[in-house]
Amino acid sequence: SARVSSGPWLSLSFNKQIRQRIIKKRIHVRIEHIQKSGSRDDFVKRCAANQVTCIEAKKAGARAVTKRSPAGPRAEAYVNGKVDVEELHPIPLRVHCLNVEQIGN
């Protein structure tokens, strides 16, 4: 659970469990740095779409599948080898602060 206090900033205080201890943590954020999360909007849109799907499936006498499924692999693509490719090489290390006499000792 979190406690929220506001002013020109937003202060959140919550408990965080670290191993056997519970530590009280605080986060202070300016109001202009806060933005609303879009995850709730996506959830509401998905619920509305699921309701429509279920209603249409009931009218058709079938069962609706409302489970989410992963996106799966992308389609194959070929890389054009005719484009000039730039080869990158590491820059050699140069030591500027040491003299040759210091290295020999």
CA 83 to chain centre: 33
pLDDT for the residue 61: 94
pLDDT for the residue 23: 94
Asked whether the predicted pLDDT for residue 22 surpasses 90, the reply is yes
Cα dist from 84 to 6, 14, 80, 81, whole Å: 56, 55, 10, 8
Mean pLDDT, the chain, whole residue set: 84
Pick left, alpha or beta for residue 19 (phi over 0 → left; psi -120 to 50 → alpha; otherwise beta).
left
pTM (2 decimals)? 0.43
Which residue type occupies 83? V
The larger pLDDT score, comparing residue 102 to residue 85, is at: 85
How do the residues of the chain divide into helix, strand and coil, expressed in percent and rounded to 5? 30, 25, 50
Average pLDDT of the residues in 69-83: 86
- Above pLDDT 70, what percent of the chain? 87
Q: What is the pLDDT of residues 45-55, one digit of tens each?
A: 999 999 999 99
